Amino acid sequence: MLLPLAIRPYPLRVATVIFMWAALAGSWNLLAGYAGAVDLGPVVYYGLGAFVTAAGMVKGGWPFIVSAAVAGVVAMIIAFLVGTPTLRLRGAYFAIGTLALAESGKQLALAWDRLTKIPLTGGSAGISLPLTRGYTLFYYVMLTLMAAVVATALWLRDSRFGYGLRAVGENDRLAEASGVDIHGLKRRVYVGSALVIALTGGTAGYWLSYVNAAEVFSASVTFQMVVMTLLGGLGTPLGPVLGAAFLTLCSEFLGTRFVYHYLIAIGVIIVIIPLFLPAGLVGLPRLWRGERAPGSA
Amino acid sequence: MKILDVRKVRKQFGALVALHDVDLTLEEGEILGVIGPNGAGKSTLFNIVAGLDNPTAGAVYFRGRSTAGLGADAVCRLGIAKTFQIPQLYPRLRVEENVLVAALYGHGSDLATGRKDARDWLAFVGLGAKADSPADSLSVSERRRADLARVLATGAPLLLLDENMAGLNQAEVDGVVRLLREVRARGRSLLVTEHIMQAILDLADRVVVLNYGEKIAEGRPADVMRDPVVVKAYLGDAVV
């Protein structure tokens, strides 16, 4: 697994895609699965990361790592400014607010060059990045990002911060009355996940060597993060990884065999899994042992 | 030294005045009972003192410090913790973890100390054997005790107990009264509201009576219960 030199390019590429989605879904899971705040606009940091990284490399002439780091810092600053008011919204209002934010981000990216006269996003045409040799850099970067997210989720299981966050997710009024600064805790998670998502977006943009606003700000990126997390297991450290692996492999397997109809099969799978595994794929071993999954009536 | 000083607190919901310029003080180590018929404003007062609600006018001082502008979490860390009338839980956490959150954030403990404190307070309220159970497996009476363990674990010197005995049988009420005396002996001050009159009379050093958001009487429990104004508020004119 850690020796990409030993395997061929195709499995390596699929593994990289899985790690990328696991990092993205895992970041979403930290806020939604633990703190109970459903963010429908995480893609805004993916798009932001992609464009800032691209601008750094193409316009600034900086190396990839430096550009990605700058993108991460920019995403954290914006997440802090955006999170301060929006994280005070509860439930559906937070979801709608963040969804609107992501759409505004897309429109801003499309209009940026025209509005500011500073050519960065290339409008609807997008921008191209320098081509790279091989896949190993992306494999390792995505693997690192996924590992960081999983390690964070594991740490939340038994840490002061994790207990505070789970308390907020389970009953925010009670958490507040017990001394938990709900807003401060949520904001730290929001800013942290913005960092990971921006780094992932920047890496993905460089990998594909092409970034355009309609794609990197697409709501479908958000929804894929949500679906993978729910399929794998919300609020569990490994759920998003399982969900990302499962859905990516399904798409690869079915997509190559049933080019025109595979999305129908994917849709059926997405409906069937929650019916039998309400806790997600992480509940599979329990099902095998014949126990009733928690949450099923 | 006064631990709590409520000055001219008013709460208005539109045209309805829920609290009418209420004054109230509590000395260190004192147990003050707040009684009154349903809708008298007891819970509104408690929510304002705990920072869960803001007064329309007036102010609340904890050891001389105004709590104006502080959220419920900051008020808790400052030293005022309140139980819930309908006991609240984190259903998917274990009982011990429920109390642990209060120790970690209300008291500022580290994980090891917090765990030990959580276990100790659960044993204190008689739930030691339930520490590892899922929180949503507790009965109503156990939930009330777990909520008590939670406010104790915050380390707050002032505890507000909002009808902590509702729904308990006589033996359980006696148990809670003994427990609260022990809590006071350990240096906490208590502001208690309760419908079970006998429990309040046994427990409180002093009683304040609210009716339609106004303070109508204050004094030693036995004296207050003989006050004609109080009897009238509870039972109506015909009795007096």
pLDDT tens digit sequence for A145-189: 999 999 999 999 999 999 999 999 999 999 999 999 999 999 999
Distance CA B204, CA B207 (A): 7
Q: Which residues contact A262 (CB under 8 A, 6 or more apart)?
A: A251, A254, A255
Distance CA B143, CA B145 (A): 5
Within an 8 Å CB–CB cutoff, is residue B113 touching chain A? no
Chain-chain contact of B89 with A171 (C-beta, under 8 angstroms): yes
B45-83: per-residue pLDDT in tens?
Answer: 999 999 999 999 999 999 999 999 999 999 999 999 999
Residue A34, min C-alpha distance to chain B (Å): 12
- pLDDT at site B204: 94
CA distances, A245 to each of A76, A120, A228, A261, A277 (Å): 28, 34, 9, 21, 17
The answer to whether B79 and B109 have CB atoms below 8 angstroms apart is: no
Residue A217 pLDDT greater than 70, yes or no: yes
Which residues on chain B are in Cβ contact (under 8 Å) with A181?
Answer: 71, 73-74, 105
Q: Which domains, ranges and CATH numbers included, belong to chain B?
A: 1-44+53-78+158-164+189-240 (3.40.50.300), 80-155 (no CATH)
Within an 8 Å CB–CB cutoff, is residue A8 touching chain B? no
**Percent of chain A scored above 90 by pLDDT?**
71
φ and ψ at residue A202, rounded to 5 degrees: -65, -40
A47-66: per-residue pLDDT in tens?
Answer: 999 999 999 999 999 999 99
The answer to whether A152 and B48 have CB atoms below 8 angstroms apart is: no
Q: Fill in the DSSP letter of residue B173.
A: H
State yes or no: ipTM above 0.85: yes
Question: How do the domains of chain A map onto residue ranges?
Answer: 4-229
A1-48: per-residue pLDDT in tens?
Answer: 555 566 788 889 999 999 999 999 999 999 999 999 999 999 999 999
Distance CA A109, CA B73 (A): 39
Residue type for position A220: S
- pLDDT at site A2: 57
The answer to whether A105 and A217 have CB atoms below 8 angstroms apart is: yes
State which residue of chain A sits closest to B151, comparing Cα positions. Answer: A178
pTM here is 0.90
Q: Where are the beta strands (DSSP E) in chain B?
A: 2-13, 16-27, 31-35, 57-62, 65-66, 80-82, 158-162, 189-193, 206-211, 214-219
